[in-house]
Amino acid sequence: MATRTTLTLDQFAALPDPGDGTQHELSQGELITLPPPGYRHGALIVRIAAILQNALNREEYIVVGADSGFILDPNPDAATVRGADVAVNRRADVGEDPPEGWFPGAPLLAVEVVSPSHRADDMQLKVKQYLEAGSLEVWLVYPSSRTIHVYSAGRRDPQVFGERDTFKSVVGQTFRVEDLFRI
């Protein structure tokens, strides 16, 4: 049985950088340790971020990557801080000076590239946390099947798009799935 480590938000913020590529998230006070993602994972993140960056008006939206942290639940004793692979916020929601640390709230759009090390129940919890915190859309990108599952606020089930499909996002743009996988 795995040991469960719980931390307050302050304890989580004080964690040292492990220096080995390991990433940490906090889910309702529980420390989540993630191994460094693989090469294809990183290439897909850069590709998706570039497509979003090029498609969106920079005066209206900010695109971030590199597992930028979002405080989805600020409860000091059972906080949730998740790191999106790619995320989009409205510039008006961020303000003139983006925060140095974690963003206090949810992204408008969160994108997660699913790795073999991710468990399905963990990814579903993460989607739920984003949507409950105010995200309007979450993409789960599955490299092995070249599909994207799009979860939307107020919609019970995801829309699943294959490589030959297009879909319109909450950010007002239409994307071709095959373009998102072209690395």
| 122 found inside a domain | yes
Q: What is the pLDDT of residue 116?
A: 81
Q: What kind and span of H or E run contains 67?
A: strand 61-73
Is 25 inside a domain boundary?
A: no
- Domain housing 117: 37-181
- Determine if residue 19 is left, alpha or beta; phi over 0 gives left, psi from -120 to 50 gives alpha, anything else beta: left
Do the domain assignments include residue 155? yes
The confidence score (pLDDT) of residue 153 equals 94
- Kindly state the DSSP code that residue 35 receives in the 8-state scheme: P
Is 31 inside any structural domain? no
Does the residue 2 lie in any domain? no
**Among residues 74, 122, 128, which one has the least CA distance to residue 101?**
74
Single-letter amino acid, residue 37 = P
Q: How many CA atoms lie within 13 A of 80 on its CB side?
A: 17
Residue whose entry in the numeric block shows the structure tokens 């909450």? 170
Number of domains observed in the structure of the chain = 1
Q: Mean pLDDT, 10 residues at a time, over the chain (183 residues)?
A: 79 86 90 88 95 96 90 93 96 89 96 88 94 97 96 94 97 97 92
- Note the pLDDT of residue 81: 96
Q: Domain for residue 147, yes or no?
A: yes
Is 18 inside a domain boundary? no
Q: Which two tokens stand for residue 79?
A: 């906080």
10 Å Cβ neighbour count for 53? 16
CA 94 and chain centroid, separation: 17
pLDDT for the residue numbered 67? 76
Is 24 within a domain? no
Q: What is the predicted pLDDT for the residue at 2?
A: 59
CATH number of the domain at 82, please.
Answer: 3.90.1570.10
| Residue 97 confidence (pLDDT) | 86
